[in-house]
């Protein structure tokens, strides 16, 4: 199936899920029920960034799905594919915010779910100075847990912020990779929609540090493309929903690297098929043009700014 | 950075109108006036049903007289005229190629002509069944040149360059009996077939038109292009400018016009000669400025970034600026009007080829063995003419646009290498292009080529189609006067990416190219044929399956018809914006717009409504994508 058709199919699926979930929530709580992510001044940050509108209630959320519908145009052009990707990111954010109704902590350790503004402000300076040279968004389940752990550690050693979505979280835990914001390895959540929480980070970075006016969608995408050195590693099999989420990443200027060569049409420097997971790191850094500033020192333990927040406990 | 804006037709029209005022003042005759005098055109000729190939005629077909004196009907007459048109175009390109072969044959390490791209020479040698191993450069060059010249009149076998097409194309051409034999033979066969009392069967005449076209595209033109690269260097990306604003008021202006790069290359070289520059200073000029018109311009802009003053219908404007010390021409598409026109100014109109002799010109025979001296003499003549410029008549329109040119196949691959990921992709291939096509980031490609024609508002069809196609994520490859129309409008500026759909814009940004790639002169359409065949190979399909079409929206010359025939035969649907002279025969029209599809997998589409023509191309490209499942 043509790549754009797959993206459109994924976007349609997410749109359907989103509308259905909101309708269910309205049936349960009513239209006036307040919705919000904790610890943010940016409402639903992705939606706020893209449209300039804050959403406070379920009724408003329902109305906001019209934006999704409007973005889901179906002309066979990249523009339409990317906009469907943006619509999917919004849909994911909507689905995620529903989890927070009457529940300030829907995510349990080690998963973070939504990240508070404070973390973004904290991360802003090292991102600008290059002390955090990039943000890796690792999605899905690696062929083996060893490969997942090795990939995460490789980024960690280079000082990148690593966010995890899906099966790779359990794989990391299985292999004893230490997780947590202090270690710059942040498991977001196990549903694909949890990817919205890292998109939210990029969007808030543009609003906070880039002074992008909320609602200036083009300026936002320009900023993230130029200034937020993120990329996505998506483990196969990549289904249509993951693919359309990938289109959202591409809209923000983030390349997607996958080991799934089945029915995926590669796009140079944008959607790259790399069958070998142990080459994801090199492929990704090259694709996002990330140059690592750190000199590798040959010592028997890992060495990177990511370990600065590590707490050493007594045995 | 100043704001990017396309030059509008209104601006171009204003410039032209102002120059036509000068024409009126000096009593010069221009094409605008001559078009009026010739309108309306003869309907019999327009429909292709007038036959003058024997002295029993001229015969013309009407409902009352459905057959000529010999008994030939409208289908036979139209078919013959179409074939002769093709033969004229094929002969023209092929003779151009032949001159280049001869030039390569006299190349020497200390002569005027040298081998500038030895690697390309060595790559080409095996195409001519020559093993380059261990051969000295010039020994090999002469051997290749001789082998190339033999392609023109060899008694047996087919064109060797055709082996570079896809396997399926070669099989198709052989099966359909259109695999071209010796180049000159195909022209002769065409002339023979169309003689009184020979072929009058449309199918046979059009089949030969395709074969004759192929002997041009995969014979004469291709050798012209490839061996020009060997001699003068394979084009690489280079920045230049276009439109009349490139003419300089304070310098000696020399316009090169025509097609064969052998002379213009030398002129470009001697424009930098210190002795001549000193002479220019002495005469009160601040330098020597070479500009170009038509395909000679394309040749020197592709290799040296020489600015393009204009295309076919701008040639008189160049002289009308009053600031042209010399207009030096070689062959093809040169208005004989330039002779009388230049007499109204101080401009020297210099003809140089035995093929192209004109009244009211100074003829300097271009002997390639004395090319350097001849170029020196011509430049000197222009410099000395600077003092004769009548300042009262000088008006140089100030419009010009930045342009990036030089996109040979080699350069396109080089640019594509820039977007490969060293962990995944090979370099030196069209794979990234194949990927953006397959993924739908760009929907397809259109090769926009061809001339200007007063039947269409100057450059309007070219530029309007280009704007529409790039907005729909369709990348353009251009040559000839189409490329110059784009350059003048500003579409060869990399900032033109802003006019593209998101997909093409992204490709332009990543690869760092303009949305329309200038691939060279009209013989360089052979580059496009190699590109489509190599791209088809990369995708593992044959050329008719590619979401690629060709288009000549303002075509005029016989060469364009020959080009159309080889492009269609190479499996690329070809869209024409000007009616060919075939309307008088339903059978020939049916064959060209449908029937030949069964032979070669592609046909002609004719539509003079430019808006519709663009829609048809987009629709065809989407159909091809659908068929491929991409």
pLDDT in tens, B178-205: 999 999 999 999 999 999 999 999 999 9
| B421 to A287: CB separation less than 8 angstroms, yes or no | yes
CB-CB contact of A243 with A268 (8 Å)? no
Task: State how far the Cα of B414 lies from the Cα of B578, in Å rounded to an integer.
Answer: 36
Task: State whether residue B81 sits within 8 Å of chain A by CB.
Answer: no
Task: Return d(Cα B341, Cα B20) in angstroms, integer.
Answer: 12
Of A228, A167, A174, the C-alpha closest to A194 is: A167
**What DSSP assignment string belongs to A65-128?**
HHHHHHH----SSHHHHHHHHHHHHHHHHHHHHHHTTT-S--S-TT---SPPHHHHHHHHHHHH
Q: How far is CA B207 from CA A230, B151, B160, B193, B196, in A?
A: 57, 21, 20, 11, 18
The pLDDT score that the predictor gives to residue A295 is 64
* pLDDT tens by residue, A3-46: 999 999 999 999 999 999 999 999 999 999 999 999 999 999 99
Percentage of chain A with pLDDT > 70? 97
User: For the segment B465-510, what is each residue's pLDDT rounded down to a tens digit?
Assistant: 999 999 999 999 999 999 999 999 999 999 999 999 999 999 999 9
Average pLDDT on A76-99 reads 97
Mean pLDDT of A121-133: 84
- Pick the residue from chain A with its C-alpha nearest to B438: A265
How is residue A262 written in tokens? 């089945």
Residues B510, A270: C-beta atoms closer than 8 Å: yes
On whether any CB of chain A is under 8 Å from the CB of B421, the answer is yes
- pLDDT: is A132 or B124 the higher one? B124
| In contact, B149 and B101? CB cutoff 8 Å | yes
What CA–CA distance (Å, rounded) separates B333 from B316? 12
pLDDT at B1 over 70: no
B547 touches chain A (CB under 8 A): no
Span B31-48, average pLDDT: 96
Q: How far apart are CA B530 and CA B527, in angstroms?
A: 5
Q: Among 1.10.1740.10, 3.90.280.10, 1.20.1270.30, 3.40.50.300, what is the CATH number of B69-232? A: 1.20.1270.30
Residues of A engaging B, defined by a Cβ cutoff of 8 Å: 1-4, 76-79, 81-82, 265-274, 279, 282-283, 286-287
Residues of chain A with C-beta less than 8 angstroms from the C-beta of B473: 77-78
Q: Closest residue of B to A278, CA-based?
A: B423
Q: Which of B614, B534, B448, B553 is nearest to B169 (CA)?
A: B534
Is B417 touching A (CB cutoff 8 A)? no
B436 interaction partners in chain A (CB closer than 8 Å): 267-268
B407-628: CATH topology is Rossmann fold (3.40.50)
Residue among A267, A282, A287 minimizing CB distance to B439: A267
Mean pLDDT for the stretch of residues B50-57: 97
Task: Provide the pairing of β-strand B362-363 with B59-60.
Answer: unpaired
Q: How far apart are the first and last CA of chain A?
A: 55
Query: Do the domains B407-628 and B244-393 match in fold?
Result: yes
C-alpha–C-alpha distance, residues A220 and A212, integer Å: 6
> In the predicted model, is pLDDT for residue A1 greater than 90?
no
Check pLDDT > 90 for residue A300. no
Question: Which segment, A121-125, A135-139, A308-312, is predicted with the most confidence on average?
Answer: A135-139
CB contact under 8 A, A269 and B630: no
Three-point CA angle B525, B531, B534, nearest 5°: 145
| Nearest alpha-carbon partner for A60 in A102, A30, A17 | A30
- Six token digits for residue A130: 């290059």
Mutation target for A interface from B415, B429, B503, B624: give the one with most A CBs within 10 A: B503
Beta bridge partners of B492: none
pLDDT at B517 over 70: yes
**Is B447:B273 a contact under the CB 8 Å cutoff?**
no
- Residue B543 Cα, gap to closest chain A Cα (Å): 20
* Interface check B473 vs A, CB under 8 A: yes
Distance CA B278, CA B275 (A): 5
Confidence (pLDDT) at A293: 66
Tell me if A268 and B425 make a contact (CB, 8 A cut-off): yes
Binding-site annotation: residue ranges of B for [Ni-4Fe-4S] cluster: 259, 295, 333, 451, 481, 522
pTM greater than the 0.90 cutoff: yes
Strands (E), B320-472: 326-329, 348-351, 362-363, 401-405, 444-448
At the top level of CATH, which class does the domain B244-393 belong to? alpha beta
Judging by beta carbons within 10 Å of its beta carbon (0-12, 13-18, 19+), is residue A102 exposed, middle or buried?
Answer: exposed
Q: What is the C-alpha separation between B206 and A60, in angstroms, rounded?
A: 67
Contact B436 A77 (CB under 8 A): no
Q: Over chain A, what is the mean pLDDT?
A: 94
Q: For residue A88, name the pLDDT band (cuts at 50, 70, 90).
A: very high
Q: Are B494 and B404 in contact (CB under 8 A)?
A: yes
Partner A contacted by B540 (CB < 8 A)? no
CA-based nearest residue to A5, from A274, A275, A265:
A265
Q: Look at residue A135 and tell me whether its pLDDT is greater than 60.
A: yes
CA dist B77 and B82 (Å) reads 9
Confidence of residue A270 (pLDDT cuts 50, 70, 90): very high
Check A268 against B438: CB less than 8 A apart: no
Mean pLDDT of B536-540: 97
Size of chain B, expressed as the number of residues it contains: 630
Q: Is the pLDDT of residue B326 over 80?
A: yes
| Overall average pLDDT of the A118-133 stretch | 86
Question: What span, in angstroms and rounded, lies between the C-alpha atoms of A247 and A73?
Answer: 14
Q: In chain A, whose CA is at the least distance from the CA of B416?
A: A268
Please, are residues B570 and B532 in contact by the beta-carbon 8 Å criterion?
yes
pLDDT of residue A311: 78
ipTM of the complex: 0.90
Write down the H helix ranges in B305-408: 315-320, 338-343, 371-385
- Token pair, residue B278, equals 């000193």
B493–chain A nearest CA distance, Å: 21
**pLDDT of B52:** 97
Confidence of residue B353 (pLDDT cuts 50, 70, 90): very high
- Over the stretch B452-462, which tens digit does the pLDDT of each residue have? 999 999 999 99
**pLDDT for B224 beyond 60:** yes
Query: Which residue positions of B form the known binding site?
Result: 42, 50-51, 54, 59, 70, 259, 295, 333, 451, 481, 522
Domain coordinates of chain B in residue numbers? 69-232, 244-393, 407-628
Whether the predicted pLDDT of A130 surpasses 90 = no
């Amino acid at each position: 199936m043509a790549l754009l058709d797959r993206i459109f199919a994924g976007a349609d699926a997410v749109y359907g899920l989103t509308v259905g979930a909101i309708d269910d929530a309205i049936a349960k709580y009513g239209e006036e029920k307040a919705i919000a992510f904790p610890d943010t001044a940016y409402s639903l940050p992705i939606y706020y960034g893209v449209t300039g509108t804050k959403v406070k209630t379920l009724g408003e959320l329902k109305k906001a799905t019209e934006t999704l519908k409007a973005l889901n145009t179906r002309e066979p052009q990249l523009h339409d594919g990317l906009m469907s990707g943006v619509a999917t990111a919004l849909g994911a954010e909507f689905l995620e915010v529903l989890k927070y109704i009457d529940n300030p902590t829907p995510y349990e350790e080690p998963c973070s779910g939504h990240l508070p503004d404070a973390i973004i402000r904290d991360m802003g300076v090292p991102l600008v100075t290059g002390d955090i040279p990039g943000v890796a968004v690792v999605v899905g389940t690696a062929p083996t847990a060893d490969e997942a752990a090795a990939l995460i550690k490789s980024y960690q050693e280079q000082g990148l912020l690593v966010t995890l979505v899906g099966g790779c979280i359990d794989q990391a835990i299985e292999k004893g990779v230490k997780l947590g914001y202090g270690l710059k390895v942040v498991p977001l959540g196990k549903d694909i929609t949890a990817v919205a929480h890292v998109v939210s980070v990029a969007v808030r970075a543009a609003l906070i540090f880039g002074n992008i006016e909320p609602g200036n969608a083009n300026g936002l995408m320009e900023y993230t493309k130029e200034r937020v050195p993120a990329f996505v590693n998506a483990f196969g099999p990549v289904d249509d929903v993951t693919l359309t989420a990938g289109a959202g990443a591409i809209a923000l200027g983030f390349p997607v690297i996958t080991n799934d060569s089945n029915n995926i049409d590669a796009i140079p420097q944008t959607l790259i098929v790399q069958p070998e997971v142990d080459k994801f790191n090199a492929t990704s850094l090259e694709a996002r043009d990330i140059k690592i500033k750190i000199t590798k020192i040959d010592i028997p333990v890992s060495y990177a700014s990511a370990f600065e927040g590590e707490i050493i406990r007594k045995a | 950075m100043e704001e990017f804006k396309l030059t509008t037709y209104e601006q171009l029209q204003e410039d032209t109108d102002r120059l036509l005022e000068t024409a009126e003042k000096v009593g010069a005759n221009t094409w605008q006036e001559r078009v009026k005098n010739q309108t309306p055109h003869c309907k019999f000729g327009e429909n292709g049903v007038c036959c003058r190939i024997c002295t029993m005629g001229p015969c013309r077909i009407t409902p009352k007289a459905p057959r000529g004196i010999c008994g030939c009907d409208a289908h036979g007459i139209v078919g013959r005229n179409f074939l002769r048109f093709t033969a004229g175009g094929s002969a023209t390109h092929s003779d151009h190629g032949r001159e280049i072969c001869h030039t390569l044959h006299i190349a020497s390490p200390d002569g005027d002509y040298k081998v500038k791209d030895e690697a390309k020479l060595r790559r080409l040698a095996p195409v001519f069944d020559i093993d380059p191993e261990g051969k000295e450069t010039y020994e090999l060059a002469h051997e290749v040149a001789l082998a190339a010249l033999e392609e023109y009149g060899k008694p047996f076998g087919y064109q060797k360059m055709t082996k570079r097409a896809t396997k399926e194309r070669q099989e198709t051409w052989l099966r359909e009996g259109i695999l071209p034999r010796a180049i000159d033979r195909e022209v002769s066969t065409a002339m023979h077939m169309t003689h009184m009392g020979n072929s009058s069967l449309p199918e046979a005449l059009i089949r030969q038109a395709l074969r004759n076209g192929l002997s041009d595209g995969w014979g004469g033109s291709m050798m012209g292009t490839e061996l020009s690269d060997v001699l003068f260097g394979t084009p690489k990306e280079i920045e230049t400018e276009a439109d009349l604003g490139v003419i300089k008021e304070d310098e000696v202006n020399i316009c090169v016009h025509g097609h064969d790069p052998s002379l213009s290359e030398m002129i470009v070289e001697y424009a930098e000669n210190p002795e001549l520059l000193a002479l220019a200073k002495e005469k009160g000029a601040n330098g020597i400025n070479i500009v170009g018109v038509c395909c000679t311009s394309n040749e020197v802009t592709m290799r040296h970034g020489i600015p393009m003053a204009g295309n076919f219908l701008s040639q008189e404007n160049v002289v009308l600026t009053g600031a042209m010390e010399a207009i030096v021409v070689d062959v093809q598409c040169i208005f004989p009007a330039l002779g009388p026109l230049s007499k109204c100014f101080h401009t020297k109109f210099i003809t140089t080829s035995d093929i192209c002799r004109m009244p009211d010109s100074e003829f300097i025979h271009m002997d390639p063995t004395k090319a350097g001296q001849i170029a020196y003499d011509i430049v000197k003549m222009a410099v000395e003419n600077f003092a004769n410029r009548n300042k009262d008549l000088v008006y140089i329109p100030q419009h010009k646009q930045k342009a990036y040119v030089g996109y040979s196949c080699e350069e396109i691959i080089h640019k594509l290498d820039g977007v490969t990921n060293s962990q995944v992709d090979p370099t030196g291939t069209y794979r990234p292009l194949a990927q953006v096509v397959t993924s739908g980031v760009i929907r397809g490609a259109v090769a926009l080529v061809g001339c200007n024609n007063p039947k269409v508002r100057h450059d309007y069809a070219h530029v309007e189609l280009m704007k529409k196609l790039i907005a729909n994520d369709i990348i353009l490859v251009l040559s000839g006067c189409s490329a110059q129309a784009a350059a003048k409008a500003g579409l060869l500026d990399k900032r033109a990416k802003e006019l593209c759909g998101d997909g093409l814009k992204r490709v332009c940004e990543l690869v760092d190219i303009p949305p329309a790639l200038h691939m060279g002169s009209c013989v360089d359409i052979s580059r496009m044929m190699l590109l489509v065949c190599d791209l088809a190979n990369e995708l593992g399909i044959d050329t008719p399956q590619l979401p690629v079409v060709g288009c000549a929206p303002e075509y005029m010359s016989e060469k364009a018809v020959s080009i159309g025939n080889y492009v269609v035969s190479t499996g690329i649907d070809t869209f024409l914006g000007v009616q060919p002279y075939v309307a008088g025969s339903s059978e020939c029209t049916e064959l060209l717009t449908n029937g030949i599809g069964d032979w070669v997998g592609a046909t002609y589409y004719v539509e003079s409504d430019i808006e519709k023509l663009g829609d048809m191309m987009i629709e065809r490209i989407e159909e091809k994508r659908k068929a491929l499942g991409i």
